[in-house]
Amino acid sequence: MTVKKPSGAKIAAPRRRSPTSADLAAVAAPKSRPLPKAVQAARARKRTPRAVDKATIDEIFTRFHRVEPEPKGELEYVNPFTLLVAVVLSAQATDAGVNKATRALFAAADTPRKMVALGEEKVRDYVKTIGLFRTKAKNVVELSRLLIERHGGEVPQNRDDLVKLPGVGRKTANVVLNMAFGHETMAVDTHIFRVSNRLRIAPGKTPEEVEAGLEKNVPTRFRLHAHHWLILHGRYTCKALRPECERCVVNDLCAAPDKRI
């Protein structure tokens, strides 16, 4: 049925609401566009403090050397292979905990062939007190197999080959190259990252930036032991939450914002 509107009747126009503050803001504010990557990078560089001068860096490492002329890593090992295994096992674990597990493991298997013969299940039994032990046991046996297959059972002396092994990242490779073969590498862990930024030896927002800064800024005569000095300083003195500034040998050279004295 069609309904006819009465003659002369007017149809009311829809009521228009008053614009809200949100409406006005949307009209007034221009649409934001992401900044070009070059501009973002430039701003990030400005926010990162510069490294201290070369004389200060030289003095920092001179003092570290004076206190501990020949710093050593705390992981126990008997050859490059066992060092590689120990470092792989040390991810998210303490050196003391790794040493406790690997003493018996390395007595049973100190070469890739012995480790493969031992097998994943038995390796797992040796390292079950270490975090992520199932994955780590699998990686240890597989990297041992690959060392035999690709490198004649020897640990390669270059980073590119090392990082192709399961469980081996850049930091692990740098530790092995430094400790086993005497390369002047910088293995940036959480301690080195923190200390390098606090002391402004090599400020950076990523481990890669800090590593590059250390390679550039550490004086040549200190490079072999630099990462050990920084690890030990961060582990026992320049701690994350409560740095022991009162007994720090470079306290007067430190300009960290969270410096306690």
Catalytic residue numbers read: 171, 189
Let me know if 174 is exposed, middle or buried by CB neighbors in 10 A (0-12, 13-18, 19+).
Answer: buried
Residue 64: burial class (beta carbons within 10 Å; 0-12, 13-18, 19+): buried
3-class secondary structure per residue, 51-97: CCCHHHHHHHHHHHHHHCCCCCCCCCCCCHHHHHHHHHHCCCCCHHH
CA angle 20/21/24 to nearest 5° reads 90
Angle at 13 between CA 12 and CA 15, to 5 degrees: 115
Residue type, 140: V
- Residue 54, Ramachandran bin (φ over 0: left; ψ between -120 and 50: alpha; else beta): alpha
